[in-house]
Structure 1
Amino acid sequence: MTGSAPTPPNDLAVLLDIAARGIPFALLARDSATIELLTGDIVDVDLLADIPLEDERGRPQEVLALVPFRQVRERGFECHDDGAPLRCLIVRDRALFDRAAALEQLPSAAIPLADAGFDIADDDYAAIVRRVIADEIGHGEGANFVIRRDFTANVAADAATAALTWFRALLEHERGAYWTFAIVTPGHVAVGASPEAHVSARDGIVTMNPISGTFRHPAGGATTETLTEFLQSTKETEELFMVVDEELKMMSAVCSDGGRITGPHLKEMSRLTHTEYVLRGRSRLDPRAILRETMFAPTVTGSPMQNACTVISRHELTPRGYYSGVAALFTPRTDAVLAGESTHDLDAPILIRTAYLVDGRLRVPVGATLVRHSDPFGEVSETHGKAAGVLGAIGAIPRDHPVEPALPSGPIDGDAPAPQPRTLADDPDIAALLASRNARLAAFWLNPQDSIVAGPFQGRTAVVVDAEDRFTTMLSHQLRHLGLDVRIVPWNEVTDAQIDDAELIVSGPGPGDPRDPGTARMRRMREVVARRHASGRPLLAVCLSHQILADSLGIELAPLDAPHQGLQKTVDLFGMPASIGFYNTFTARVPAGVSAVGVAEVAADPTTGDVYAMRGPGFASVQGHLESILSRDGMTTLERLVTAAFSPVDA
């Protein structure tokens, strides 16, 4: 077996021989017609930067890497460290096989399971959901979190045989997967049908594909009516918007043009339908660096990312292994590489809907996205629905026969191509309902951003202080479009000299209770805001920093009755209505009708007194996230507030 076969062969004897001899291999089904077989050498490395994209002679080589969740440590994030290796298959040989032939020849006999069941009972998982909503979202720790549970069983069968059997079952019983795969390496098997591409990079174009919202098909199959009810759900809609915001943070960090969103679309699978957007931008970064900066998808962790990892460590008592990591295929580019561009393309699906087999122990992890509207037993049901495809394939639950999409009605021309099944997305009412979602979103992120024109603050500079919420990457991208030269500095690295000397300080958002200075981060953010405000030099304070500034002015801080995580509101900001996205659990609050506190002009809710923005000589602040896709008027409002911040103290 050398190189790629010119046409897909039908004889899988070579694959079965490889499996029988214990040679590491990977099977990838990335299209509807073929299966790729990759074989080679196994190398475990410590860091993403160590993935060997060149051989000993410096020549580009293809690598398939299994990236465990513990790699978040590279970014300083917290996790239960199980030592799962960053495992690399250095591809020496590859072949293509016909997918239909594979279904006929791969083993199909059921693999017996023993002692099968979820490690966390339904009632106990529902109790975890309640705690996360009350203790984490309810205390400002973030907008959403993904908490997993594991289906486990004992397996006595040969690992390679089990992998081939389950791979065949997923090919037969699951549709709509981004990758269906089996990766067999010494002591470890991973077999799955991932619906979601985390990140890809091809010819300098980076793509991310946030998928969220889970519609479990009812008995008899999905209908326009049942799907419409799902698409009109506030919880499901906000859940998708929140993960798009979180992935735009990542895109803004790795792409010079910040990223543009298209969609929404439906991701239709055999038993589930999801909603999704596609994000694209241009980057010259090494694909390993792109992967590092996007660890890991908010759809399987939560947001903001760093604190989500901390919350996961509090509520998941065992390590994740490879769950929510990625399988990353680095393929050498065959075209002439332009100066400064990467030698490799990247294709990296998220490791979800995957079964792992180690030392005869099967594990199928699955999680639900918990938001402020979550119903505990609804989230329990979601974990069952997400696991059903894999559990059916491995024989843990009965293998159902999902309803196939109907073919178009009417006469068929004998010379015309075979008709394709009609999908739910083909329904004009469904298409219109999906498209209507974008009317709520910021045009800034829907439109191309290939170049930055001269903005109103051209030639001026800003330092953005990051308080562990990478909304600062999106905010910085918008500030650059306003003409500012922007540098982001983490809260624990910003110096007093930078606070004093920067032309504009933008003190950013972050998780936590602004009233509690018990953490080093909260203490330093208080120092940043106080020092800059006292200097009288231009300051813009956002969300958490807005609350800290309000507190320093003697304005009350209080928890909201219900968290505003991913909430869109139209508010009056100094006489002008603005549609803005909010991600806050706490608020600054003045008595109803108050419009000024000392030198600060206050824009507040006329009934509750919740403070949405402030401005005064040399400063401005805002509670909402003007950079969010939910902020239709974000750019206009940002320009107004930066102008206010630049107003002289003696004006």
Structure 2
Amino acid sequence: MTGPAHPSLREIADRGIPFALIARDDTTVELLTGDVVDVDLLADIPLTDAAGTPREVLALVPFRQVRERGFECHDDGAPLRCLIVAERTALPRDEALAQLPAEPVALQDAGFDIADEEYAGIVRRVIADEIGRGEGANFVIRRDFTAGVSTDAATAALTWFRALLEHERGAYWTFAIVTPGHVAVGASPEAHVSARDGVVTMNPISGTFRHPAGGATAETLTEFLRSTKETEELFMVVDEELKMMSAVCSDGGRITGPHLKEMSRLTHTEYVLRGRSRLDPRDILRETMFAPTVTGSPMQNACTVITRHETTPRGYYSGVAALFTPRLTLAAGEATHDLDAPILIRTAYLQDGRLRVPVGATLVRHSDPYGEVGETHGKAAGVLGAIGAVPRDAVAEAAVVVPAPDGDVIDEDAPAPAPRRLADDPAIAELLASRNGRLAEFWLNPQGSDGPAPYAGRSALVVDAEDRFTTMLAHQLRHLGLDVRIAPWDEVTDAQIDDAELLVSGPGPGDPRDESSPRIRRMREVVARRRESGRPILAVCLSHQILADTFGVDLAPLDAPHQGLQKSVDVFGMPASIGFYNTFTARVPAGTTRAGEAEIAADASGDVYALRGPGFASVQGHLESILSRDGMTTLQRLVEQALAPVTA
């Protein structure tokens, strides 16, 4: 038999050739070889050669690239590493397995870098000091499983890749990337962002069900799916990724799902978001750095919180592996490359003889510290069990013995049939589908025109206070016909504030009373200046609280944060189901309906949900959220109020 024309995987490893192995389906392993180039910025990723000819590039994007968006991080200097593909080979899966080593890789001094009790303490502090003080809705804090490895790096990579192929299922990418001085091997469940034929797709995954010994069942999964904490966690990350979609897609994005992502030790819940974009794929990647499922929301403040509570840099954890593939056909104005970029999670890193498996838990207001400790153990075990570093669940992996038609027993060594997907269980499918009953149809349905836009020909300026909910809000305002621009709080000028036909003062994290914050001070100036002018203003969340303060309404922290909470409230005589992301509230004595010229909509406790008056309107909730079933209707009412002519 004639051997393959290309070198064997072992030969490639022995010769020190940079390479990547990628399995994106159950039949084929892609082998990429080429030269490595490190660059500074995403824009520097060399998608063309000196002659301008498009070429394929696999880029390892570290977490530190968030600096390109002006966000904070511990900067470890991890390179933005590009494998410029010189040769691509498609190997049948069985052929690849036959070439891969199977002897387990021994580990020394294995364990977490942060003890369980210490990590539980971090969880408590984040809930109290960050979520409890309005810094955001959820945050992901990591810890690392580390160990010494004496096996050479390339052999370890090939061994672990084989183990993941054999023992992990449900991964979006199973991969091994071996470059000088650095190895990454993983089975990522999550496609962060892809772009193909002008269609951008994001795949927010959240909620983690750790399989009990022996595997998951419909009964054990049902309890997880009914968990308020897990459901709200998923909704919050969908909201956060819709912010990104609204920034890069002309149609804002539409969600489908939810679905189950079933893996060997874990099951997750997920949605799929799709929209159309003509942006360069490197720009799409920059605008979507990085997934809220591994950072938190709002994104910019999440990076600040991570920097406060993680004492070491993240390296490539929560970054992406981005494969840029030249398009075979191009239409006018299209990007030259398609993009496929999974999140770098469930990944083992090997450098200088040390294994590192970073894992994180999503911390929300309902989080139990020890439950989050257990989640990190489960996520680490998903990788470590697959590669044989910790014991595997032998019961779950055992071959199924099925009676043969003639009464004999089928050979136990024969390949086991594919496990039945829990998502196929009718009760599970119904329980999943029922989640969408809580969501806004605006984001579930195609966003075509429903008729003449009520505010066609008019314009609005949205001031962003470091919460990209403003991109979703701007998209909804455009759906109403407004020509919308967004200006960051630290760039908006007084002239822009004065000249805007409708000024929308946006949401943001933090305490509205904190005048030591430059951002809060500037948002107070924006609201005050606009009110003094008498020109139309719509204030949202943080800005609603600031507006209320100008009428002498008290501001106070809530007893429990409303982060990702859906409530039905009365907005000036009309009930509305709205999503809330606030830790502070404007509050009046129960029964109060006015403050100066402002009419107040408040609940029985006095928490103020909306204000309206001549030339202004405000709302505490996020009408743009997927949790706001009545968001568009309420938004149109408030825009109408703000733009109504002011009579003497």
Aligning the two structures, in what range does the TM-score lie when normalised by the shorter sequence?
Answer: over 0.9
Q: Does 1:300 align with 2:299?
A: no
Partner of 2:577: 579
Partner of 1:5: none
CA deviation string 1:371-398 (max 9, x = no partner): 0000000000000111112112344311
Q: Does 1:54 align with 2:52?
A: no
Partner of 1:4: none
CA deviation string 1:526-563 (max 9, x = no partner): 00000001111000000000000001110000100000
Query: How much has 1:223 moved relative to structure 2?
Result: 1.1
User: Conserved in 2, the CA contact under 8 Å of 1:604 and 1:612?
Assistant: yes
Query: How much has 1:452 moved relative to structure 2?
Result: 8.0
Look up the equivalent residue of 1:611 and give its one-letter code. V
Partner of 1:334: 328
Look up the equivalent residue of 1:513 and give its one-letter code. D
Q: Does 1:646 align with 2:646?
A: no
Q: What's the secondary structure of 2:322's corresponding residue?
A: strand
Change (3 A) 1:621 1:565: same
Partner of 2:413: none
Q: What's the secondary structure of 2:396's corresponding residue?
A: coil
Which sections of structure 2, spanning at least 5 residues, go unmatched?
406-415
Q: Does 1:565 align with 2:563?
A: yes
Partner of 2:141: 147
Query: How much has 1:278 moved relative to structure 2?
Result: 0.1
Structure 2 CA distance for aligned equivalents of residues 17 and 543 of structure 1: 60
Structure 1 CA distance for aligned equivalents of residues 4 and 372 of structure 2: 43
User: Conserved in 1, the CA contact under 8 Å of 2:250 and 2:277?
Assistant: yes
Partner of 1:471: 469
Q: Does 1:213 align with 2:207?
A: yes
Correspondence 1:80-99 to 2 at 5 A = 80-99=74-93
Q: Which of 91, 94, 97 pairs up with 1:103?
A: 97
Q: Once structures 1 and 2 are overlaid, which stretch shifts more, 68-77 or 110-119?
A: 110-119
Q: Which of 300, 310, 318 pairs up with 1:316?
A: 310
Q: What's the secondary structure of 1:16's corresponding residue?
A: helix
Q: Which of 423, 426, 433 pairs up with 2:424?
A: 426
Partner of 1:438: 436
Structure 2 CA distance for aligned equivalents of residues 614 and 361 of structure 1: 58
User: Conserved in 1, the CA contact under 8 Å of 2:163 and 2:388?
Assistant: no
CA deviation string 1:53-86 (max 9, x = no partner): 0011100000000000000000000000000000
Q: What's the secondary structure of 1:59's corresponding residue?
A: coil
Structure 1 CA distance for aligned equivalents of residues 222 and 326 of structure 2: 43
Partner of 1:240: 234
User: Conserved in 2, the CA contact under 8 Å of 1:589 and 1:611?
Assistant: yes
Q: Which of 604, 621, 626 pairs up with 1:624?
A: 621
- What percentage of residue pairs aligned between the two structures are identical? 82
Runs of 4+ deviating beyond 3 Å: 8-13, 404-412, 418-421, 450-454
Q: Once structures 1 and 2 are overlaid, which stretch shifts more, 384-393 or 27-36?
A: 384-393
Structure 2 CA distance for aligned equivalents of residues 273 and 483 of structure 1: 42
CA deviation string 1:375-424 (max 9, x = no partner): 00000000011111211234431133362699999999xxxxx9854210
Structure 2 CA distance for aligned equivalents of residues 62 and 211 of structure 1: 28
User: Conserved in 2, the CA contact under 8 Å of 1:466 and 1:509?
Assistant: yes
CA deviation string 1:252-300 (max 9, x = no partner): 0000000000000000000110000000000000000000000000000
Q: Which of 189, 194, 200 pairs up with 1:195?
A: 189
Partner of 1:537: 535
Correspondence 1:334-483 to 2 at 5 A = 334-335=328-329, 337-401=330-394, 403=396, 421-450=419-448, 454-483=452-481
Partner of 1:24: 18
Q: What's the secondary structure of 2:568's corresponding residue?
A: strand
Change (3 A) 1:9 1:323: farther
Change (3 A) 1:408 1:59: farther
User: Conserved in 1, the CA contact under 8 Å of 2:9 and 2:100?
Assistant: no
Q: Which of 132, 143, 149 pairs up with 2:126?
A: 132
User: Conserved in 2, the CA contact under 8 Å of 1:408 and 1:421?
Assistant: no
User: Conserved in 2, the CA contact under 8 Å of 1:406 and 1:422?
Assistant: no
TM-score normalized by the length of structure 1: 0.96
CA deviation string 1:190-232 (max 9, x = no partner): 0000000000000000000000000001112111111110000
Q: Does 1:66 align with 2:60?
A: yes
Q: What's the secondary structure of 1:258's corresponding residue?
A: coil
Q: Does 1:118 align with 2:112?
A: yes
> How many residues are treated as equivalent by the alignment?
637
CA deviation string 1:410-456 (max 9, x = no partner): 999xxxxx985421000111100000000100000001125585311
Structure 2 CA distance for aligned equivalents of residues 288 and 317 of structure 1: 30
User: Conserved in 2, the CA contact under 8 Å of 1:368 and 1:382?
Assistant: yes
Look up the equivalent residue of 1:60 and give its one-letter code. P
Q: What's the secondary structure of 2:487's corresponding residue?
A: strand
TM-score normalized by the length of structure 2: 0.96
Query: How much has 1:156 moved relative to structure 2?
Result: 1.3
Structure 2 CA distance for aligned equivalents of residues 102 and 300 of structure 1: 31
User: Conserved in 2, the CA contact under 8 Å of 1:453 and 1:481?
Assistant: no
Look up the equivalent residue of 1:349 and give its one-letter code. P
Q: Does 1:269 align with 2:263?
A: yes
**Cα RMSD (Å):** 1.8
Structure 2 CA distance for aligned equivalents of residues 539 and 478 of structure 1: 16
